[in-house]
Structures are given as structure tokens and as C-alpha cells.
């Protein structure tokens, strides 16, 4: 499997299995949307409005993730164009691999390392938050979309860890794809939090599944770090081939 496919799958898995973190960061706004849709007097059933608000909000949120990923990947791409050196490429690969290890630790339940990244976005969120207040109460789809776009910039350690993965891709399109995959992975949890799939609460949150996914992602991350620090490790006679004959 190619590195892009691997990192994209890892980003999707992290989003899919990070349900607890999604509940903490975005659960309140999801419940607010569904509650508003149920109580409003607009034409149409409350269930239909609930679906429209949640999907529109999440579309805006995932759009922001994708844009942020493209910007991060573009930043890495610009760095390679300016420097064009092998050490820089190895540095980006190491950054991507390190972020995979951070995601693996989060999935395994070691959350402080990821949560400390949230402080980095506090300044940005202070500028965005007043705009979000202007969209409340959410009583139409346009406000739900706008709120989702703004909420996508909420300081979130998981998002920032995946952004490091997008940065390490060294390509704007690939970075956007990585963040898009992460956003799509978070979607089922967000819809469940909003009340659209109450019967499917437990399968994705079993500890054994989380630990297995964490082990696989960590393995990929460690491989990437070894490859970045020792590019010849996977060749004949290299470190990896000697260990795993």
C-alpha cells in the first residue's frame, strides 16, 4: 500500500474511533442543532430538519478540515520547492510518521499528549468565536453551514495531529485528502451524537478494536520514522530487512 493510502486510512480510522473526543468537542453543538430543529415551528417534520441541520453543519466542518489540510500540505510542498533537499523530505516524512504515533497513543487512551496541541489554536479560536455567536440560534440551513465552517477551526488536539500528517504529505491535494478522510471518519460519531443512529452506539468503541487500530497505526508510524531517519533501512541488507527477514 502506498504511503498516501496508508496515511489517509490512518486518518479515517482515527476519526472513526475517536468518538469520545468528538463527543467532548462537538457534542454540545450537535445536540443544540437537533434540539433547535425539533422545537422550531418551520414547515416540515422535526426529523427532516434535524437531518438537514446536522448534515449541513458537518459538511461545513469537514470542508474546513479539508481546506486546512490543503493549506498544511501546501506549506510542506512550498518548503520542498524552496529547499528541495533530501533532509527536508525526510523531515516531512518524520513529521507525518510522528503524528501517526500521536494518533495511536490517543486511540490507546493516552490523551494528554494530543490535548496539549489544542493550546496552539487558542489564539485563532478567540478570533473566530465571536463570528460563531452571530450564527446562534441556528434556525436555518445557512446558519448550520456557517457554524460548521467556523467550528472546523475549533482548537482540537486530534485535528492538529492529523494536520501534522497533512503537512508531512508535502502536497496540497494530498493534505486535503488526508483531512477529508479524517472528517469523514468523524461523521458517524457526530451523527450518533445528534441522535440519528441511537441503535449503533457500542461496536466502534470497544477497547479491543481501539487498541488493535492503535497498534497498527503505531506500527506504520514507527516504520515511517525509521525510514526517515535511515532511508536505506528497507533495502536489501538494511535494518528492517535484517530484523524481519
Q: What is the pLDDT along the chain (245 residues), one digit of tens a residue?
A: 576 788 888 889 888 887 666 655 665 666 666 555 555 544 446 567 777 888 899 999 999 999 999 999 999 888 777 665 667 777 888 888 888 888 888 777 776 666 666 666 667 767 777 777 777 777 788 888 998 898 888 877 788 888 888 988 889 999 999 999 999 998 887 777 655 444 444 554 556 767 887 888 888 788 788 877 765 544 444 433 433 44
Residue 212 CA to its chain's centroid (Å): 19
Say how many CA atoms lie within 13 Å of 12 toward its Cβ: 10
pTM value is 0.76
Say how many CA atoms lie within 13 Å of 230 toward its Cβ: 11
Q: Which pLDDT score is estimated for 240?
A: 37
CA angle 108, 180, 82 (to 5 degrees): 100
Q: Which pLDDT score is estimated for 196?
A: 41
Q: Which pLDDT score is estimated for 118?
A: 66
CA separation for the pair 73, 67 (Å, rounded): 10
| Peptide linkage before 241 cis (omega within 30 of 0) | no
Q: Which pLDDT score is estimated for 206?
A: 58
Amino acid at each position: 500500500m502506498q504511503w498516501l493510502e496508508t496515511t489517509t486510512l490512518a486518518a479515517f480510522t482515527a476519526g472513526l474511533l475517536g468518538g469520545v473526543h468528538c463527543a467532548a468537542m462537538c457534542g454540545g453543538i450537535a445536540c443544540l442543532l437537533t434540539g433547535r430543529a425539533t422545537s422550531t415551528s418551520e414547515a416540515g417534520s422535526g426529523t427532516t430538519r434535524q437531518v438537514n441541520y446536522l448534515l449541513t453543519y458537518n459538511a461545513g466542518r469537514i470542508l474546513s478540515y479539508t481546506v486546512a489540510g490543503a493549506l498544511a500540505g501546501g506549506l510542506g510542498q512550498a518548503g520542498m520547492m524552496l529547499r528541495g533537499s533530501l533532509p527536508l523530505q525526510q523531515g516531512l516524512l518524520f513529521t507525518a510518521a510522528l503524528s501517526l504515533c500521536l494518533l495511536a497513543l490517543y486511540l490507546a487512551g493516552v490523551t494528554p499528549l494530543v490535548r496539549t496541541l489544542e493550546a496552539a489554536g487558542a489564539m485563532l479560536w478567540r478570533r473566530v468565536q465571536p463570528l460563531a455567536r452571530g450564527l446562534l440560534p441556528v434556525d436555518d440551513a445557512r446558519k448550520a453551514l456557517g457554524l460548521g465552517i467556523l467550528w472546523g477551526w475549533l482548537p482540537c488536539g486530534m485535528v492538529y495531529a492529523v494536520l501534522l500528517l497533512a503537512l508531512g504529505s508535502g502536497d496540497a491535494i494530498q493534505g486535503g485528502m488526508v483531512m477529508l478522510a479524517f472528517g469523514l471518519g468523524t461523521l458517524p460519531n457526530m451523527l450518533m451524537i445528534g441522535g440519528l443512529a441511537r441503535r449503533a452506539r457500542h461496536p466502534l468503541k470497544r477497547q479491543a478494536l481501539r487498541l488493535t487500530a492503535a497498534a497498527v497505526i503505531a506500527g506504520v508510524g514507527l516504520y515511517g520514522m525509521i525510514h526517515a531517519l535511515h532511508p536505506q533501512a528497507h533495502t536489501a541488507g538494511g535494518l528492517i530487512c535484517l530484523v524481519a527477514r
